[in-house]
């Protein structure tokens, strides 16, 4: 199930943020999007998640046109986001957060089974099932955000800076989890500032600056230093 965005131009109100951005994420592949603050990374994810309608361009999942789909239809189609900072509902319990991950789905038996498999996979979430999500540590909240996203067995997983604000040891765990997930086959679009940690995981890389693609290619063809150079160049631009 490849997610293909082509020539996306998008913005907020009258302010244009993205200009002709294209991206192609294939199953079992991690596609990293790097770029300075404010370069449009989260905006691109919002377009891919159906949260922000592009002004023009194309968006397809395995040949199916997604433009015109509503937000919950994106989730039903299999496109799910882990938003920046996880976005768990602090006032809800861990279990209620997991249930929220299945809200858009109609097969409630499958949702219950899927929640159970998440509790099996992440024992800490079972232990804290009834606890308020707001009482969890930063790392546990990110784990919950991943588990909530996985409840619907996504075909495309959109991850917005999952390592941000986490302790280094937790960052390692999060990247380990992404590595495991890739092996299970979803297409993963990973926005990150932690280039050093993310690059070894990446199959493809896109660098954005000021809402435009500056570089797009295979991760094996670039190294961290080159990327940092590109970054520094971009940061000055
Ligand atoms: N809801 C919004 N309304 C208006 N402008 C917005 C909105 N969200 C983002 N922007 C603007 O769009 C631009 C791109 O923001 P975006 O969040 O996509 O960048 P980013 O690359 O994800 O940055 P960061 O690394 O800080 O997360 C910024 O100038 C930002 O101020
Ligand atoms: Mg962002």
pLDDT along the chain (237 residues), means of 10: 94 97 95 94 96 96 93 91 91 97 90 95 95 95 94 94 90 90 92 90 94 92 78 53
| Centre of ligand 2 from the C-alpha of residue 126, in Å | 30
**So what's the pLDDT on residue 43?**
97
Within 59-155, residue ranges assigned H as helices are: 71-77, 94-100, 108-121, 123-127, 138-150
> E strands along the chain, which residues?
3-12, 15-25, 30-34, 56-61, 64-65, 79-82, 156-160, 187-191, 204-209, 212-218
Three-state SS at 87? coil
Task: Check pocket membership of 42 for ligand 1, CB cut-off 6 A.
Answer: yes
Ligand 1 site, residue 35, Cβ cutoff 6 A: yes
* Distance (Å) from CA 55 to ligand 1 centroid: 16
The number of the ligand nearest the C-alpha atom of 34 reads 1
pLDDT of residue 185: 87
Selected from 2.120.10.30, 3.40.50.2300, 3.40.50.300, 3.20.20.80, the CATH number assigned to the domain covering 3-88+155-236 reads 3.40.50.300
Whole-model pTM? 0.92
Q: Give the number of whichever ligand sits closest to the CA of residue 41.
A: 1
Ligand located closest to 33 CA = 1
The whole-number pLDDT of residue 233 equals: 60
Length of the chain: 237
Domain boundary assignment for the chain: 3-88+155-236
Write the residue with the smallest CA distance to atom 9 of ligand 1: 43
């Amino acid at each position: 199930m490849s997610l293909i965005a082509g020539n996306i131009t998008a913005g907020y109100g009258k302010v244009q943020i993205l200009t002709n951005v294209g991206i192609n994420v294939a199953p079992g592949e991690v596609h990293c999007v790097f770029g300075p603050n404010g370069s449009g990374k989260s905006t691109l994810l919002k377009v891919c998640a159906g949260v922000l309608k592009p002004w023009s361009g194309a968006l397809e999942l395995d040949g199916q046109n997604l433009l015109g789909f509503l937000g919950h239809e994106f989730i039903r189609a299999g496109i799910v986001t882990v938003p920046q900072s996880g976005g768990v509902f602090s006032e809800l319990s861990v279990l209620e957060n997991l249930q929220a991950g299945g809200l858009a789905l109609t097969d409630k038996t499958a949702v219950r089974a899927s929640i159970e498999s998440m509790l099996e996979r992440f024992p800490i979430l079972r232990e804290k099932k009834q606890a308020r999500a707001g009482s969890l540590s930063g790392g546990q909240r990110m784990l919950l955000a991943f588990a909530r996203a996985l409840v619907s067995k996504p075909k495309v997983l959109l991850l917005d800076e999952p390592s941000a604000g986490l302790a280094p040891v937790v960052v390692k765990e999060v990247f380990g989890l992404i590595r495991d997930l890739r092996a299970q086959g979803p297409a993963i679009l990973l926005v990150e500032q932690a280039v050093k940690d993310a690059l070894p995981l990446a199959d493809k890389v896109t660098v954005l600056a000021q809402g435009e693609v500056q570089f797009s290619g295979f991760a094996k063809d670039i190294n961290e230093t080159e990327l940092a150079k590109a970054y520094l160049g971009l940061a000055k631009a």
